[in-house]
Amino acid sequence: MRNAMIDVDVLIVGSGPVGATCARLLVDDGQLNVLMVDAGPLLTQRAGQHVRNLAEQPRLEAQVAAQGPTAFRYSVPSMPERANAAVSGDYRLEHLVRPGTHLPNGERWGDLPAAACSTNVGGMGAHWTCACPPPAEGEAISFIPAAQMQAALAKARELLQVTAAAYPDTPVSQRLRERLGSAFADVTTATRAVQRMPLACSSDNTQRRWSGSDTILGTLAEPSGRPERFEIRHDTACLQLRVKHDRIVGADLLDRASGTRYQVDAKTVIVAADALRTPQLLWASGIRPEALGRYLNDQPQVVHAVRLDADECGISQSGADPTVGVYWVPYDRQHHPFHGQVMQMEACPVALADEAQADVEHIVAMGWFCCKQDIRAQDRVHFSETEKDFLGLPAMTLDYSLTDRDLEQVGKARDLLQRAGKALGTPLGEAPLMLPPGSSLHYQGTTRMGEADDGTSVCDDHGQVWRFHNLYVAGNGVIPTPTACNPTLTSVALAVRTCERILQERRP
Ligand SMILES: Cc1cc2nc3c(=O)[nH]c(=O)nc-3n(C[C@H](O)[C@H](O)[C@H](O)COP(=O)(O)OP(=O)(O)OC[C@H]3O[C@@H](n4cnc5c(N)ncnc54)[C@H](O)[C@@H]3O)c2cc1C
């Protein structure tokens, strides 16, 4: 322990984009002592940087360091290997996880085989693709007033530095967009037409700086920029919250470097430890509302790659084209309840084509995320009474399945991908491929919000856990609706509301 903050106003568990949002807003208010702990290591001196901003060697080292119990380098499987694994269901570890992530228990674990976490300061926000589309009608949370949600989304965009202009809008990219736009004209609307993807990224048109937790933290990401009343404690796992009646009085922390277990007192606690490990910590603390860990919702993901029609698209030079960028085919509740992404390989988190091939040809990746149709209490995480995971928290297992209606959506997504592929050039490989369940990395619902404490939710519309005055949950787990869009912008916006509530409650 470097300095010993042991009595704090706010303890934040988890330093991903959501924990970082809470830290920034609460520290900026100027009054509160805030301690943010993360079970994983500090990857970069500036806390929570996106590893894509690093040079190759430090990036590889940072990715490995983030992989918790499986801290070794994954080889990236080829497209045919992935396709075979998808057909046979016989996945190897490297088919399931991406660099910088690890399976929660470190090994294959059931019905959502690719469900993964990152354990490092900055969380998955150090490894993400940075796509930040806003939720549309149908994805939005009906019991949060629309104007309030729009204001929170605007703040989230500011914190994450979201822009649709990360890549230059060249004639080539306009042509690609036009082609996609024509192909999807029947399912998109004028206000949500095919467009450039909003990305959490700053750019000077030639170089991009991808947003991580450090972007959100601003000066707080630098040790020298932190006031005395704010500390980030890395390699520090929260093992248990200490409960007294209807309040949390503090937490038991583990300094993983020395193996020392110690306590901090806290007036308010926010758990932002991802959608699997937030319910895990509550459960370990004896806080076990009926809905905890249930209503698990993963977005089935179907992918394909396409070789662009260079002549038709007006691409003259050979080799990877940095002007291709990332395009968005938005969700529409009625006509297109999917979220479509077309990405240049540089921005794609899944290896869909041989890297060498992508270097000499104009190949782009396409991914369609489906809305889970049936959100069910039986789709859930279980926590063991006896077994522990690598951090010393209850080991997790899953019950999860796709229903016939979900699989029907997957079939429709395959058709849409064929359509997008034909609009752009020549699809590679036989057919669009559904990635192993869990691959979206967008798990939701396990600490879902609700309108009432009726057994179907864990917290209210500001993330305050039912029956606890000073305990909040934040992150993708609180999203209760079936969504197709990438969830981080929404989760950061919901965390903005959580902070507003905390600051309001603490004011005289
Ligand atoms: C390759 C990849 C691509 C992605 N692409 C996108 C995208 O384009 N758009 C999008 O919206 N989302 C994307 N995501 C998902 C996105 O990164 C997550 O939605 C986001 O990071 C969630 O933020 P969070 O702060 O809630 O959780 P996380 O970022 O997961 O952070 C949780 C933190 O909690 C810590 N923690 C867990 N348990 C404990 C404990 N007991 N004690 C202390 N600390 C603990 C972990 O170490 C971790 O650092 C992607 C993720 C990956 C990996």
Residue 82 pLDDT: 60
Residue 364 pLDDT: 83
In the predicted model, residues of the chain with pLDDT beneath 50 are 1-2, 322
First to last CA, the chain: 33
What contacts 411, CB < 8 A, 6 or more positions away?
Answer: none
Residue 365 pLDDT: 86
Backbone angles phi, psi at 429, to 5 degrees: 75, 180
Residue 173 pLDDT: 84
> Cβ(212) to ligand 1 under 6 A?
no
Nearest to 108 by CA among 98, 116, 118: 116
Using an 8 Å Cβ cutoff, are 35 and 264 in contact? Answer: yes
Nearest to 194 by CA among 217, 172, 218, 178: 178
Nearest to 316 by CA among 109, 170, 103: 170
**153 bridge partner residues:** none
Cα–Cα distance for residue pair 242/258, rounded to 1 Å: 22
Pocket test for ligand 1, best of 128, 232, 271, 299 (most atoms within 8 A of CB): 128
> Cβ(237) to ligand 1 under 6 A?
yes
Q: How far is the CA of 172 from the centre of ligand 1 (A)?
A: 34
> Cβ(198) to ligand 1 under 6 A?
no
Residue with CA at minimum distance from ligand 1 atom 50: 128
Using an 8 Å Cβ cutoff, are 269 and 472 in contact? Answer: yes
Quick one: tokens of 302? 């179907």
Residue 242 pLDDT: 98
Residue 79 pLDDT: 55
pLDDT digits (tens, 9 = 90+) for 482-493: 999 999 999 999
Residue 76 pLDDT: 58
Q: How far is the CA of 275 from the centre of ligand 1 (A)?
A: 8
Q: What is the bridge-based pairing of β-strands 338-344 and 260-271? A: unpaired
Quick one: tokens of 129? 């693709």
Residue 353 has, within 13 A of its CA and on its CB side, a CA count of: 26
> Cβ(101) to ligand 1 under 6 A?
yes
Residue with CA at minimum distance from ligand 1 atom 27: 274
Backbone angles phi, psi at 373, to 5 degrees: -80, -40
> Cβ(17) to ligand 1 under 6 A?
yes
Residue 172 pLDDT: 81
Q: Give pTM, 2 decimals.
A: 0.95
Rg (CA), the chain: 22
> Cβ(396) to ligand 1 under 6 A?
no
Cα–Cα distance for residue pair 399/9, rounded to 1 Å: 37
Residue with CA at minimum distance from ligand 1 atom 38: 273
Nearest to 256 by CA among 78, 121, 422: 121
Quick one: tokens of 349? 């988190």
> Cβ(304) to ligand 1 under 6 A?
no
**209 bridge partner residues:** 202
Q: How far is the CA of 117 from the centre of ligand 1 (A)?
A: 7
Residue with CA at minimum distance from ligand 1 atom 35: 14
Residue with CA at minimum distance from ligand 1 atom 37: 273
Q: b/e for 42-69, b at 16 or more Cβ within 10 A?
A: bbbebbbbbbbbbeeeebeebbbbbbbe
Residue 429 pLDDT: 76
Alpha helices (H) in 113-194, listed in sequence order: 146-160, 171-183
Question: What's the DSSP call for residue 72?
Answer: S
Pocket test for ligand 1, best of 441, 478, 496 (most atoms within 8 A of CB): 441
pLDDT digits (tens, 9 = 90+) for 299-355: 999 998 888 877 776 666 555 554 567 899 999 999 999 999 998 765 555 555 555
Q: How far is the CA of 473 from the centre of ligand 1 (A)?
A: 14
CA angle 403–404–405, rounded 5-degree value = 90
> Cβ(273) to ligand 1 under 6 A?
yes
Query: Which atom of ligand 1 is nearest the CA belonging to 38?
Result: 44
Cα–Cα distance for residue pair 335/339, rounded to 1 Å: 12
Q: How far is the CA of 118 from the centre of ligand 1 (A)?
A: 6
Cα–Cα distance for residue pair 471/64, rounded to 1 Å: 33
DSSP string, 222-259: SGGG--TTEEEE-SEEEEEEEEETTEEEEEEEEETTTT
Residue 503 pLDDT: 97
Q: How far is the CA of 508 from the centre of ligand 1 (A)?
A: 34
Query: Which atom of ligand 1 is nearest the CA belonging to 119?
Result: 47
Distances (CA, A) of 286 to 152, 242, 278: 32, 9, 13
Q: b/e for 141-170, b at 16 or more Cβ within 10 A?
A: beebeeeebeebbebbbebbbbbbebbeeb
Residue 1 pLDDT: 45
All domains in the chain, ordered by first residue: 7-506 (3.50.50.60)
- Cα 307 to its chain centre, rounded Å, is 28
Query: Which atom of ligand 1 is nearest the CA belonging to 117?
Result: 30
Q: Where are the beta strands (DSSP E) in 378-422?
A: 380-388, 394-399
- Hey, which residues are catalytic here? 442
Instruction: Judge residue 174's burial from the number of C-beta atoms within 10 Å of its C-beta, 0-12 exposed, 13-18 middle, 19 or more buried.
Output: middle
> Cβ(39) to ligand 1 under 6 A?
yes
**Cβ atoms within 10 Å of 217's Cβ, excluding its own:** 28
Backbone angles phi, psi at 14, to 5 degrees: 105, 135
Q: How far is the CA of 277 from the centre of ligand 1 (A)?
A: 10
* SS3 state at 336: strand
Quick one: tokens of 23? 């830290």
Q: How far is the CA of 186 from the centre of ligand 1 (A)?
A: 35
> Cβ(127) to ligand 1 under 6 A?
yes
